[in-house]
Amino acid sequence: MKYPKYPVFASDLGFGDWNEVLQDVDDSNRTNNGDRDQVLATVAATALTFTKHFPNAQIFIQGSTPARTRLYQMGIGHNLLEINENFNVRGFTDDGWEAFQFGRNYTALLINKK
């Protein structure tokens, strides 16, 4: 799927579980260890800190699977009123980028500071 051209994304934030065998972070593992909300809160805090230092940045969000993208979308949806105080949130569909709407399924998300 092609996305519209936006400024170059120069940073990448990845997270997952430590894999002892690979000695690396594994972002495809599903541990279901109950830390989902803590992980999402950590990502949100990182985005807030990042945009304080780079207020003109756009944050592109896409999970390693469609289910993970949906998880991020649900996290944004549950906190949308608070997020909208400082950020614009857009979702990508087959028709292109649009303002984030409840009940829509997006293949990617884009956030930027207001």
Of 74, 62, 68, 14, nearest to 42 by C-alpha is: 14
- pTM across the whole model: 0.76
Return mean pLDDT, the chain: 82
Q: Determine the distance from the C-alpha atom of residue 66 to the mean position of all C-alpha atoms in its chain, rounded to a whole number.
A: 12
Structural domain count of the chain: 1
The pLDDT tens digits for 17-71 are 778 888 887 777 666 677 778 877 888 888 889 889 989 888 888 887 888 889 8
In the prediction, which pLDDT does 29 show?
67
Local confidence band at 12 (pLDDT 50, 70, 90 cut-offs): low
Q: Is residue 66 part of a domain?
A: yes
In a domain, 78, yes or no: yes
pLDDT band at 77 (very low <50, low <70, confident <90, very high): very high
Q: Above 60 in pLDDT, residue 82? A: yes
Residue 13 in domain: no
Mean pLDDT comparison of 9-18, 27-36, 64-73, 87-96, highest-scoring range:
87-96
The answer as to whether 58 is a domain residue is: yes
pLDDT of residue 109: 93
Q: Containing domain of residue 48, as a range?
A: 35-113
Structure confidence at residue 44 (pLDDT): 83
Q: Is residue 24 part of a domain?
A: no
Does residue 68 belong to any structural domain of this protein? yes
22 within domain boundaries: no
61 belongs to a structural domain: yes
Q: How far apart are the first and last CA of the chain?
A: 27
* Confidence at residue 90, expressed as pLDDT on a 0 to 100 scale: 95
Angle at 37 between CA 31 and CA 41, to 5 degrees: 125
